[in-house]
Amino acid sequence: MNLLNNYFLNSAFFAQSGTESAVPTAVSQVVDSAVPIQAWTNSMLVPIVLGAVGYLFIQHGVVKSKAYFAAGAVAVLLAVGFALGFTPGTFDSYVLMAFCAVATGGGIGFLTAREPVYAALGFATAVLSVCGVLFMQSALFIAAATMIVYAGATIIIFLFVLMFAQQTELRTYDVQLNNPLVAAAIGAILLATITMCVTKNNAILPVRVDSTRVMSAASLPDSLSSEAGKEASKKLDAIDPNLRYVPKLTAGLGRSMYTDYLLAVELAGTVLLVATIGAIALAQRTTETQS
Amino acid sequence: MTTKKSKTVKWGEEPKIGWWEAMYLPAIAGGLATAIKHAFSGRTTTRQYPDVEPEIPPNYRGVHRLNRDEEGRVKCVACYMCQTACPANCIEIIAAPAPKDDPHWKDRDKFPQTFTIDELRCIYCGMCEEACPVDAIELTSVYDLTGYTRKELIFDKEKLLSVFDETSTAGKDPVRTNRGALGPASVEAATASQGPPPPGRGSHG
Amino acid sequence: MFEYLKQSWPTLWPTLGAIGVILAFVPVLGLYMTFIERKLAAYVQDRLGPNRVGPFGILQAIADAIKLFLKEQIIPDHVYTFLYFIAPTFSLMTAMFALVVMPFGPVPTEYTEGFRYIVAPGIDIGIMMMIAISSLSAYGIILGGWASNNKYSLYGAIRSCAQFISYEIPLGLSIIGIIAASGSLNIEQIVSSQGGAIWNWNIFWQPLALIVFFTSALAETNRLPFDLAECEQELVGGFHTEYGGIKFVLFFLAEYTHVVTVSFLTALLFFGGWHFPGLTGPVDANLGGMLLRTFVLVFKVTMVVGFIMLLRWSLPRFRFDQLMGLAWKGLIPLALLNFLCVAIVLTYDLPKHYLALTALFLVAGSMVSARHLQHTINRPRSEGRPATNVNLTESAI
């Protein structure tokens, strides 16, 4: 529905873009780290509860009984619903919540599945739901890229390997964790960190989701250096100096990647290249020694 | 086990792909050209079977028939030759002495009381036909044999005789060449009683 | 909720209408494509094809559909039931979802009121979205193959895994040249950049991209000559061995939907979409012009579909190592070279003629250098492969 909504807003944008001043009427709420981070909020309860529930699950290996699993899943869903339930009840937010819930479910499935293939499928579910969340936030490029790279290639390679190494019986190291307490603690701390970062005034992320974002500076047609862009950033400065100009979706991302983050992109590319060469070298050596 | 190339065995080589074929595209274009040529040639080799019946050669070996002689009696003399010759054991004959009082049967000693052929078991080899000393059993060119039950396809004497009636009235008498004369064996046998037997006859005994 | 609907109705109904068109046409199209394919196959092989149901057998598709829908639902004992049912559904879902960003008629680049011949217009990353969604279509096959719990199905699934991953790369790389030349990921804008004269069509400027794109797209559709996931002679039926009735229909429909998608993409990206010499003026000038343009697009798509079907009856199936060799040693380097040429021409603002010139050289050069593929093809299967257990399974793929 958000896509439709985007289109609706885009249509207004199209109507505007014909004129000279393509300055948004509604202003982006993307703010540059102006959020005061509170150390303790009520939402911090969520990672603690989740960590405890997770420990309960994994202390004896994977989940043994279905009823146990169902109870846990309901508890987690309730927690997520509790966290997200304070969002204003638009259709978009419900869809978003549904995606979030499915993503959480996929993650739980990934962690608790007995068979590796089901674990990979749980991972796929989680990734695809996150793509849905990204779609709902109008981050189309990231969503498509995630879909291609993770869901379309990485998990399929996982499945490929898992199907080859199909086991008839589960080994203990597949179902038993060495240090369930440590694992649960690390997971809870990670979750707490994320929660802390996205929390503002006792509210969690979705409240800050702003469906006017496509309508806003993010959908401006030109780059920052163009006339329209300069004008836009000037107006944004006048409204609030903390507001940041975000170029148009894909083009802006590309420009940003190859200017601001050039070094990071090149380094990541080099790492991948090294990995490829290493893989080829490994494969080659095996063939030589065996023949 | 080593695979030594023997001189008596002809070893096929995988065809080498040359430079022209390795370019792919010309070869693909050639294949497409062939496909398109056939697609638009308008030629078909399909036979519209139930609508248009195929022409069956007259020496086809299909459903059996039991021939009648000129008096309408079953020609079979119940000698068991066909039953003995049958490799599939599908013929079953029960012989009975010919009724002595009946002047109609006075030239016969035996006749088949029952004569059944399991058409599903038969392999249509034609051995029965060759074994028969009096050309009583023949394989016709009837090929579309169908039935709803297995029992239905175990042909008894009456059924086999009716096959004879049908095929002979339809002019579909089987043609055999191995008797030296081309033409229906039954007709030939009928004429043989008036003249000398054709050469080669009786060597089958 | 109701308020929301009421408020957004002017923009909602064209979208719902487009979704309706796709939902209504795809199954019918799929059914009739089976019929057309059977007819075409028959003509290529000097046969008559289906001709018993209705005049010229045109009701055969419907008869097939009724038969398949009414078939008994057989669930083999040994399957993983949940995934077994999910797989065909997911297969069709992804295939249809890819049509969301697919214009099936003239879409104006500017916003207009009313029906717009596309479900989601104005999506900034149209073509990328399409690739993203089609990359998911491997899941249906993999899940189906794995859930069937049958070694033939599993081999089919594993083959298609490797095939999908390999051929997605040249597919994406070949489109990059087009995207760079058009300056947009948006399909509508790629098409509108090919407007005007016939030589604006991308095929004349980047023929190599077309060859690479079409080949890899054909591999993504899992059709001959790339249908190693289901080849009858080796794998019975591959991933759909254990499927029958309506579940098989879903797989089948997904395959034909992929064919439609690929044909649409080929027509839109390389053959000018709804543009045709002589058809000038704004896209949404009047209803007649729009219908004519829709007809032009559909005609082009039909031609591509026919070509794909003819290819099926012209080419033999690849062996698996040949398949991999074609992707990794043939198509990927060619696609990269093509993109390099396009990038050079665009960066140094060379006239467009250079693009065509380089493309010609590239096609000729790639054909000449096909010689290096010769070694791969002529190499016997066993050569250079160590005889270990691992490779026994590998050679069975």
Could you report the per-residue pLDDT of C161-210, keeping only the tens digit for each?
Answer: 888 888 888 988 888 888 888 877 888 888 888 877 777 788 888 888 88
Chain C residues within 8 A of A5 when measuring between CB atoms: 8
All residues of chain C having their beta carbon less than 8 Å from the beta carbon of residue B31 are 314-315
Tell me the whole-structure pTM to 2 decimals: 0.73
Contact: A145, C1; criterion CB under 8 Å: no
User: Given a cut of 80, is residue C1 above it in pLDDT?
Assistant: no
Cβ-based contacts under 8 A for chains B and C: 57
Does residue A10 register a pLDDT over 60? Answer: no
Instruction: Sort out which chain C residues have CB atoms less than 8 A from A121's CB and list them.
Output: 83, 143
Candidate from C135, C143, C161 with C-beta closest to A147: C135
pLDDT, tens digit (0-9, with 9 covering 90-100), for A226-255: 565 566 666 666 665 555 555 455 666 666
Nearest to B45 among C40, C44, C46 (CB): C46
Q: Which residue of C has its CA nearest to A290?
A: C386
C373 contacts C131 by C-beta, under 8 angstroms: no
Chain B residue with the nearest C-alpha to that of C326: B24
Position with higher pLDDT, A209 vs B31: B31
The DSSP bridge partners found for residue B96 are B111
- d(CA C87, CA C142) in angstroms, rounded, equals 8
Does residue C83 surpass a pLDDT of 90?
no
Nearest CB among C46, C374, C378 relative to B43 is that of C46
Tell me whether C208 touches chain B (CB under 8 Å): no
Pick from A8, A140, A152: CB nearest C124:
A140
pLDDT over 90 (residue C47) = no
Hunting for tokens 């990204």 — which residue is that? A134
The band of C15, judged by pLDDT with boundaries at 50, 70 and 90, is confident
Task: Please indicate whether residue A7 or residue B139 has the higher confidence score (pLDDT).
Answer: B139
pLDDT at A1 over 60: no
DSSP string, C114-171: S--SSSSTT-TTHHHHHHHHHHTHHHHHHHHHHHTT-HHHHHHHHHHHHHHHHHHHHH
Do residues A43 and A207 make contact, with C-beta atoms less than 8 angstroms apart? no
B36: chain C residues, CB-CB within 8 Å: 310
To the nearest whole Å, the CA of A129 is away from the closest chain C CA by 13
- Model ipTM over 0.95: no
Q: Is the pLDDT of residue A20 over 50?
A: no
Which chain C residues have a beta carbon less than 8 Å from that of B24? 367, 370
How high is the pLDDT of residue C383? Answer: 47
pLDDT at position A127: 92
Does residue B4 sit in helix, strand or coil?
coil
Nearest Cα neighbor of A1 from C19, C129, B193 is: C19
Q: Average pLDDT, stretch A40-49?
A: 72
Put simply, the answer to whether B22 touches C371 (Cβ < 8 Å) is yes
Q: Is residue B128 scored above 60 in pLDDT?
A: yes
Q: Is A129 on the interface with C (CB under 8 A)?
A: no
Domain ranges within chain C, ordered by starting residue: 2-396
Residue B148 has a pLDDT of 92
What pLDDT shows up at residue A238?
67
Q: Residue B74 has what DSSP assignment?
A: B
pLDDT digits (tens, 9 = 90+) for B113-124: 889 999 899 999
Q: Which of A69-83, A125-139, A206-220, C342-356 has the lowest mean pLDDT?
A: A206-220
Among residues C160, C158, C88, C391, which one has the least CA distance to residue A163?
C158
B45 contacts in chain C (CB < 8 Å): 46-47
- In this predicted structure, the answer to whether residue A88 has a pLDDT above a threshold of 90 is no
Q: What is the mean pLDDT of residues B26-39?
A: 86
Name the residue among B22, B25, B44 with its Cβ closest to that of C373. Answer: B22
Closest Cβ–Cβ partner in C48, C315, C377 for B28: C315
Q: Under CATH, which number does the domain B64-192 receive?
A: 3.30.70.3270
- How far apart CA C113 and CA C11 sit, in angstroms, is 8
CB distance B35–C377 less than 8 Å? no
8 Å CB contact of C8 and A91: no
- Report the candidate in A164, A181, A237, A171 with the shortest Cα–Cα distance to residue A57: A181
Q: How far apart are CA A226 and CA B33, in angstroms?
A: 54
**Per DSSP, what are the bridge partners of residue B117?**
B91, B155
Assess A203–C contact: CB distance below 8 Å, yes or no. no
From C12's Cα to the closest Cα of chain B, the distance in A is: 45
Min CA distance, C12 vs chain A (Å)?
Answer: 7
The shortest CB-CB distance from B16 to any of C43, C45, C378 is to C378
Residue C181 backbone dihedrals phi, psi, to 5 degrees: -70, -35
Cα separation, A194 vs A197, whole angstroms: 5
* Contacting residues of C for A160, CB less than 8 Å apart: 158, 161-162, 165
Give yes or no for C47 touching B (CB within 8 A): yes
